[in-house]
Structure 1
């Protein structure tokens, strides 16, 4: 009985040692984590991680070691992004009139309303009007909220653009009066009075390696090619322009998915990030879903207009953060990645997010290292199909059996 027990214990230790290495040997890279002193910690991912990790970050793992003991740390991956909320205010149109100065619409809110945006819709598809917005608490004394504000709509073979949203600082009144200076009766079809709030996420500026602007007179386009130093999540682009004339032009933002060689050099395949309009009436900034980008192309349709004077661009991306539960602060922890075949882990932690403290301590993350346990073995055949392993194991078992048999005979 003692002999069988000792053999089982030895086999268990061997399997544990093999399992310990097997947990990390499929990950090519690692980064040490420092500063673990409590249960909950966060890790901000450096941009360099995205170069060697899967594009969807499915291969991120956190392991802790102490001697032969190893644990996998459950985590939640969070992406910081702006969160926008809209609160609509109900109202009635109590007056519609006009005189030599324009057309007037008076809105009465059900209660004194705090708003900062009004969205207007008109049946007309081509117009260029100036508006004035006033507020009042008694429908007698009026205070200016917006003046000389421009709204317009253009629809033709080249353009389909509308800007009919009034944006202004927060104002609280029981009545709002809209004056439109137009040479025809505006056909107001809908209006929404809103209070919008934006909870700013954490974003970081992204520097680009190169920036090239091409004005293509033949195709009546301007294109901007941007190359980043490393693949980086991107969610914001602003185009900085100079000029003293109004414009509104179709714009398309694309990113490179792959490349291939041709007789004319390297060509790229692109996927869309954003399509819309760049206009002098709006801040030329564009937000889209965070996407891993290494090369970017922006196309502006000039039609028969002269190209815009583009001076530079500004790029920003979301901050990716892991929030993990470290149950044993005495272990040595590291972040592992670089496994193309790994799938997204499934941790129970995602069902208990409400138990994670609002404020957690950030860990220091070390420089990227090659994982010494990584193996490039391409086959996943069972261990004992390898004849060398089999003969070695048989030799160890025979030696152990002989040793224990000898000890039993002597006793």
Structure 2
């Protein structure tokens, strides 16, 4: 029976190349952070992550949830109606009223014009008589031509609670305001880790009129945030593309890389050069800035961050010895019932530690052997087949 139980245990874990022991399991629910070194050998979609517990002859599989600690952004539109529109020599005023006093922190403006550069002042009031300043000399911009289609018309400001809001646009022409969407946006910050890069290579390509930056990391790691230190003596707005490497291949000119798009947008002097994108595991990035006929920007460094991946697991018996297994290309995503009852998971979970990566001693590769390993058997089989065919042929001809 011991041999049979050992075989069963081995059969459950022998398709996983690597394991990490889980220590300090002392209650039913625990959480654990995936270490950065794990991403190199685990499947990129995490289908191969398994937790097994062993206690003598018994082996159990532990159900878990994989959580990504990213920012959670919620936005609620607030109903305001426009009650006034006026102007003086150089300012155009738009006043909005709500039935009740509301807290807002964002106004998205839409105009009929395609090309403009205006200064905005935003004020708030509770009686439409006494006004308090919220934003001053806030710049909004729209540029549309053969090279660029760029708009920056979103007013962002600290939470402000008023019944009336008034926008003043400083312009030499009559702005044609199409809409103003007023909202309250809340962001619950996720958990990020700084990512250090190994190399930073910058090239200003005069032929293609672009700047290309290639960043190499030490190992594959999750990335979801990039901040670029970009400077210029003048205002700028240029197209930017961020790509991540998907695979590589060797050529006579060295190793070449295949890339996929991670972010497409604009780098501008009006906005912070910070970019958020879905958490993506990669070991290399390429940033392309289209300069057109402009002088390249001064780019000195960048900051990288990635969201933390965390496992929440239910350990039914602390007496078992648990380990996290991975490294199985043929694994499929597990289906556990606890994902249907996530609301019942305790909020205060204690972290458990994962040991250093080790090769799974139970890992084995099943190789299908040919029926006849020795070629002499093939020759014997062929000779028998030829003899049988010859005998049947002779018999038919004789009849």
Q: Report the TM-score, using the length of structure 2 for normalisation.
A: 0.91
* CA distance 1:380–1:334, change in 2 (3 Å): farther
Per the TM alignment, residue 292 of structure 1 is displaced from its structure 2 partner at its CA by 1.1
Per the TM alignment, residue 325 of structure 1 is displaced from its structure 2 partner at its CA by 0.4
Q: Tell me which residue corresponds to 1:399.
A: none
Give ranges in structure 1 of 5+ residues lacking alignment. 1-9, 386-411
Per the TM alignment, residue 263 of structure 1 is displaced from its structure 2 partner at its CA by 2.5
Aligned match of 2:326 in 337, 345, 352?
A: 337
Given that 2:73 and 2:186 are in contact with CA atoms closer than 8 Å, whether structure 1 keeps it comes out as yes
Hey, which bits of structure 1, 4+ residues long, moved more than 4 A? Answer: none
Are 1:137 and 2:126 counterparts?
A: yes
SS in structure 1 of the partner of residue 36 of structure 2: coil
Deviation digits for residues 114-170 of structure 1 (CA, Å, limit 9, x no counterpart): 111110000111000001111111111111111100001000011110000001111
SS in structure 2 of the partner of residue 18 of structure 1: helix
Aligned residue runs from structure 1 range 76-155, under 5 A: 76-155=65-144
Q: Tell me which residue corresponds to 1:283.
A: 272
Aligned match of 2:182 in 193, 196, 219?
A: 193
Give ranges in structure 2 of 5+ residues lacking alignment. 372-399
* CA distance 1:354–1:143, change in 2 (3 Å): same
SS in structure 2 of the partner of residue 377 of structure 1: coil
Per the TM alignment, residue 220 of structure 1 is displaced from its structure 2 partner at its CA by 0.7
Given that 2:82 and 2:94 are in contact with CA atoms closer than 8 Å, whether structure 1 keeps it comes out as yes
Taking the aligned partners of 1:228 and 1:266, their CA distance within structure 2 comes to 16
Per the TM alignment, residue 20 of structure 1 is displaced from its structure 2 partner at its CA by 0.9
Aligned match of 2:349 in 360, 374, 378?
A: 360
Q: Tell me which residue corresponds to 1:406.
A: none
Aligned residue runs from structure 1 range 28-47, under 5 A: 28-47=17-36
Q: Which moved more, 1:144-153 or 1:346-355?
A: 346-355
Q: Tell me which residue corresponds to 2:282.
A: 293
Per the TM alignment, residue 380 of structure 1 is displaced from its structure 2 partner at its CA by 10
Are 1:203 and 2:201 counterparts?
A: no
Per the TM alignment, residue 265 of structure 1 is displaced from its structure 2 partner at its CA by 2.1
Per the TM alignment, residue 301 of structure 1 is displaced from its structure 2 partner at its CA by 0.4
Aligned match of 1:63 in 34, 43, 52?
A: 52
Taking the aligned partners of 2:160 and 2:282, their CA distance within structure 1 comes to 40
Given that 2:211 and 2:290 are in contact with CA atoms closer than 8 Å, whether structure 1 keeps it comes out as yes
Taking the aligned partners of 1:217 and 1:373, their CA distance within structure 2 comes to 56
Aligned residue runs from structure 1 range 216-295, under 5 A: 216-295=205-284
Taking the aligned partners of 1:355 and 1:214, their CA distance within structure 2 comes to 53
> What is the aligned residue count?
373
SS in structure 2 of the partner of residue 23 of structure 1: helix
Aligned match of 1:181 in 158, 166, 170?
A: 170
* CA distance 1:102–1:369, change in 2 (3 Å): same
Q: Report the TM-score, using the length of structure 1 for normalisation.
A: 0.88
Aligned residue runs from structure 1 range 287-326, under 5 A: 287-326=276-315
Taking the aligned partners of 2:356 and 2:158, their CA distance within structure 1 comes to 46
Deviation digits for residues 294-322 of structure 1 (CA, Å, limit 9, x no counterpart): 11101000111111111111111111011
Q: Tell me which residue corresponds to 1:327.
A: 316
Q: Tell me which residue corresponds to 1:392.
A: none
Per the TM alignment, residue 378 of structure 1 is displaced from its structure 2 partner at its CA by 3.5
Per the TM alignment, residue 242 of structure 1 is displaced from its structure 2 partner at its CA by 2.8
Taking the aligned partners of 2:146 and 2:264, their CA distance within structure 1 comes to 17
Q: Which moved more, 1:261-270 or 1:18-27?
A: 261-270
Q: Tell me which residue corresponds to 1:409.
A: none
Per the TM alignment, residue 262 of structure 1 is displaced from its structure 2 partner at its CA by 2.2
Taking the aligned partners of 1:161 and 1:368, their CA distance within structure 2 comes to 48
